A = this chain, B = another copy of it.
């Protein structure tokens, strides 16, 4: 079973990587860009057949390794 995990910084947490991208885009002449935030996108291939079990397992992975829940949110999508 394939799953997608999106990890994003919580609102209010400073995102220097996003700021750097915004600065570079402005430098290239893309003046209409107001704000940029960068997150992570992780594709997992997991050997589970039950969707609920897979989701619970991936949720555990997110809490233990993939996301820092103090400053990041995560969203799981099963495909």
Contacts and interface: CB of A to CB of B under 8 A. Distances in A.
Quickly give the copy total for this chain: 2
Contacts of A32: 46-48, 57
B47 A43 contact: no
B6 A30 contact: no
Interface residues of A, number: 32
A42 B65 contact: no
A30 to B, nearest CB: 6
B37 A42 contact: yes
A47 to B, nearest CB: 4
A9 to B, nearest CB: 10
Interface of A: 6-8, 18, 21, 24-25, 28, 30, 32-48, 57, 60-61, 64-66
